[in-house]
Amino acid sequence: MNQKTVIVDIVSDIVCPWCWLGKQYFDKAVAATPDIDVQINWRPFMLDAGIPKDGMPYPNYMKAKFGTGRSDKFKAMRKHLEAAAGDAGIEFHFDDIPMRPNTLKAHLLIKWASGQGKAHAASGALFKAAFQDLKDVGDNKILAATADEIGMDGKLVTELLETGRDVDKIKTELAYFQKLGVTSVPTFIYNGTFAVSGGQPPEAHINALEKASTIEAKDIMTVLNS
């Protein structure tokens, strides 16, 4: 059987719970379409780039964002996420999250992981650390431990984080996807031609993979890399 190749660029932020749920659904779709060779690129997005470098206490962040009372929209979203988590094989512990991190460093780790073919593993580990294990994924020690967990060199990651390596590259990529029209995450871009947005169920991604397998891939990074 000849495999068809589909390139999927996943634009995501580690502090986005829909992104973790979306990743799990996407993974199920990939497992259900073994005749398609899926090549995944993780791309950065920051839901709130104004978060201080060292983050801020989660209760303070939520109070500033939603006021003293949680909005009905937020409550409905949270209820849906918690209900869907079990079937997706994940856990959310929103009430116990201690910090709202700045995710720039987490995106750096994913970028470096991509060079070793470990970006998908890095993203999954960071989502779990943030939402299930309640760790601060903006902290260098947590990022180094995550790197070790997926088979990278945590000590080297610490050194790179301390030097600020590739920060400008991440910021350029963040700006690029904003200009490309990505305004919410997760956004799954298939073969550079169409997108599936939000925490769509596996069926949506199965359909997208099958559709993309009939379309010639376009490099959405051509302008950025030129």
Could you read off the pLDDT of 104-142 as tens digits, one per residue?
999 999 999 999 999 999 999 999 999 999 999 999 999
- Assign 71 a pLDDT band (cuts: 50, 70, 90): low
Residue-level pLDDT at 223: 52
pLDDT digits over 42-58, tens only? 999 999 999 999 999 99
In whole angstroms, give the CA distance from residue 203 to residue 199. Answer: 11
Q: Assess whether pLDDT exceeds 90 at residue 66.
A: no
Distance in angstroms (rounded) separating the CA atoms of residues 196 and 202: 11
Provide the domain limits for residue 15: 4-225
> How far apart are alpha carbons 186 and 204 in whole angstroms?
13
Residue that wins the pLDDT comparison between 65 and 88: 88
Structurally, how many domains does the chain consist of?
Answer: 1
CB-neighbour burial class of residue 131 (10 A; exposed 0-12, middle 13-18, buried 19+): buried
Write down the pTM of the prediction: 0.93
Cα gap 9→7, rounded to integer Å: 7
Cβ–Cβ < 8 Å for 196, 208: yes
d(CA 54, CA 56): 7
Q: What CATH number has the domain bearing residue 175? A: 3.40.30.10
- Could you tell me which residue, 210 or 67, shows the higher pLDDT? 210
**Which residue type is seen at 159?**
E
Q: Which two tokens stand for residue 52?
A: 């201080």
Tokens at 64, concatenated? 């500033």
pLDDT for res 55:
96
H or E element that contains 96: none
Per residue in 150-206, pLDDT tens? Answer: 999 999 999 999 999 999 999 999 999 999 999 999 999 999 999 999 999 999 999
pLDDT at 226: 44
In terms of pLDDT, which residue wins out, 66 or 192?
Answer: 192
User: Which candidate, 226, 190, 193, places its Cα nearest to that of 30?
Assistant: 190
Question: With bands split at pLDDT 50, 70 and 90, how would you rate the model's confidence at 1?
Answer: very low
